[in-house]
Structure 1
């Protein structure tokens, strides 16, 4: 049995709330809660849903269970424009202070899956063993951290839209500088590059 284990009195309640929002307990929930707690500590945010709520944003790199946990712990969301999603498929998130520019990327270590046996040798089922081990493993064995630089364009920051224009193609209104200039015309991205949807005739 490993001797060094993770201990934080806030963790059980944060995990319970995350599971309530997400709908079930899984290793991704444990990873996401732990990842968010570490990321907030790295950028010096102690009260993410209160006094510090407007001082940081989070960039997630995967649309899996852990992202719901990160949202639950940090209070960040797409609607508040404090949560950004980069579709990298990586179990990672970057925490950025908007006031100082300090930024840290936290990545889940793949080798933590195999290390789970050291922390929970009494559990035979691999899935259950990982779930419980992720609650106990120290941050250094569960995550890799990188101090990074992140440039956040003014149009991507929380707050009121800086611009709202009408697409010359379909007539939709485009906010937050997502319009595209093509041959002197202002277009939405769907008209400029092709959309994920196709309007049916009639």
Structure 2
């Protein structure tokens, strides 16, 4: 794996800016990979051995993706919307997995490590670069049972929604009132059609 400064620079370029979340994400990813025994996770053959579950949609997630090579489209990046600055790194070959959580006490420690920096955000950024892993994170050994439908690779499972007829992949369908439904039909959706009777606007 490349060194921390090289990874941080590349991650910041890919993300669009350098921020404390980028430092957290790069260090979290480096630690997670080390714990599960992968040193080149973004290249073959290791790229097929890793899944990462992230629990926040913030800057750190982009950094984790950059360092590890995991991606939503590759099905190796899983988003669990817990709103927690945490990620779980899984070695699919060995089953070894660790959940790493960013500590809130690291924020309090940052100005003590960087007393000459008045800007709290910049103090965090610089302090997180040198802070001990034990101050920056809490780490737990965990077990993650990855279902076959969640594994990377080609689509293995398909179903058709009985209400709207759309194809649902990867076991995301719902059985409700003895009908196979897509989740929007079963639970409602984040969107609301403006005119459900309109023709396809691209016809």
**Alignment root-mean-square deviation, CA:** 1.3
**SS at structure 2 position matched to 1:171:** coil
Residues matched between the structures, number: 195
1:135 maps to 129
1:112-144 Cα deviation digits (max 9, x unpaired): 011112321221111111110001111111111
Partners of 2:170 and 2:83 lie apart in 1 by 25
- C-alpha separation in 1, matches of 2:184 and 2:149: 19
Q: 2:18 aligns with which of 3, 25, 28?
A: 25
Gaps of 5+ in 1: 1-7
Structure 2's unaligned 5+ residue stretches are: 199-203
User: Residues 22-51 of structure 1: CA distance to partner in whole angstroms, max 9, x if unpaired?
Assistant: 101100010000010000000001111123
* Structure with the larger RCO, 1 or 2 (CA within 8 Å, 6+ apart): 1
Residue 161 of structure 1: CA displacement? Answer: 1.2
TM-score by length of 2: 0.92
TM score, norm. by length of structure 1: 0.93
- Which position in structure 1 is the counterpart of 2:75? 81
What's the secondary structure of 1:101's corresponding residue? coil
1:197 aligns with 191
Partner of 2:41: 48
Does 1:150 pair with 2:151?
Answer: no
Give the ranges of 4+ consecutive aligned residues of structure 1 lying more than 3 Å apart after TM superposition.
none
Give the Cα–Cα distance (whole angstroms) in 1 for the partners of residues 135 and 35 of structure 2.
16
